[in-house]
Amino acid sequence: NPHKSIKQMAHETGIARTCAHRILTQILKLKPYKQACHHELFHKDYKKRKDACNTMIDSIR
């Protein structure tokens, strides 16, 4: 089931979470991910968001 977490699958099968993760990633070549919902970027917001991103980048440097 693609909607189950590794933790849930490990619990149901009775194997360790790390073992379940290894089976999924190394043997089955699957990549676990969480689906994310993002807000739409409107044209009027572009400059404000770009400026905010540049400010954050400058604070890291």
Q: Over the Cα atoms of the chain, what is R_g? A: 20
CA distance 17 to 5: 10
At residue 4, what are phi and psi to the nearest 5 degrees? -90, 145
The predicted pLDDT at position 40 comes to: 82
CB 16 within 8 A of CB 10: yes
pLDDT at 56: 96
- Whole-number pLDDT of residue 31: 85
The pLDDT tens digits for 32-53 are: 777 788 888 788 888 898 999 9
Is 10 within 8 Å of 2 (Cβ atoms)? no
Residue 14 confidence (pLDDT) above 90: yes
Share of the chain above pLDDT 90, in %: 54
Q: Where are the domains of the chain?
A: 1-33
Distance CA 46, CA 59 (A): 20
